[in-house]
Structure 1
Amino acid sequence: MTTTPAGGTETIEAPASAPASVHQWVTIVWDDPVNLMSYVTYVFQEYFKYPQAKAEELMLRVHHDGKAVVSTGNREEMERDVLAMQGYNLWSTMEQS
């Protein structure tokens, strides 16, 4: 409650928390003409700890579809993942899903 200039009181309600799905973000790795498919697979295994089959599946999605969602989480986690992918010289971005 707060006091208004006229001396009355006003109730201010906190906004309802947003559903968890609103807070989901994704990291996207995009196809590029520079990195070898074997290197992209290696990065997915090394950084995300994906098994080889999952890393190859994601790499093929990047290669054939032009992009792949490689991780999902909150904004801070996806910022970290995007920076890591860029550190490996992979073209990556994030967006809210």
Structure 2
Amino acid sequence: MTTTAPVTTPKEKTGAETALADSWRVVVLNDPVNLMSYVVLVFRKVFGFDEATARRHMLEVHERGRSVVWRGVREQAEAYAYTLHEWHLTAILERNETD
């Protein structure tokens, strides 16, 4: 009696797994320089947020020290972070590991 080892084939990544692997977050960090009204203005101009959404993210930055303002592919995340830096906001990228 002979036994053969099971044959395993590499698993192909599904679209959802690929999207997850390419998912990034743009996180705005609190700073002691910018006025709250200015941060709301920047969020509205850069992301097209309405007043309530921009204010909610601004308050999250102010009270918690950070807010995730955008999720998506890395290239677009880098572009948003760059734009926020040009507006003198502190922004970082993080892998989106929670989706």
TM-score of the two chains, using structure 2 as the length reference: 0.80
Q: Tell me the number of residue pairs that the alignment of Structure 1 and Structure 2 aligns.
A: 85
2:38 corresponds in structure 1 to: 39
Counterparts in 2 of 1:26 and 1:14: CA distance versus 1, 3 Å: same
Alignment of 1:22-61 (within 5 A): 22-61=21-60
User: Counterpart amino acid of 2:91?
Assistant: S
Whole-angstrom CA distance in 2 between matches of 1:41 and 1:28: 15
Runs of 4+ in 1 over 3 A off after TM superposition: none
Instruction: State which structure, 1 or 2, has the greater radius of gyration over its C-alpha atoms.
Output: 1
Q: Who is 1:17 aligned against? A: 13
The 5-angstrom pairing of residues 54-73 of structure 1 reads 54-73=53-72
Where does structure 2 lack aligned partners over 5 or more consecutive residues?
1-8
- Residue 22 of structure 1: CA displacement? 2.0
TM-score, normalization: structure 1?
0.82
Provide Cα deviations, 1:64-95, integer angstroms capped at 9, x if missing partner. Answer: 00000000100001000000000000000001
User: In the alignment, which residue of structure 2 is the partner of 1:76?
Assistant: 75
User: What root-mean-square deviation, in Å, do the aligned CA atoms of Structure 1 and Structure 2 show?
Assistant: 1.6
Gaps of 5+ in 1: 1-12
Percent identity at matched positions? 35
Aligned to 1:10: none
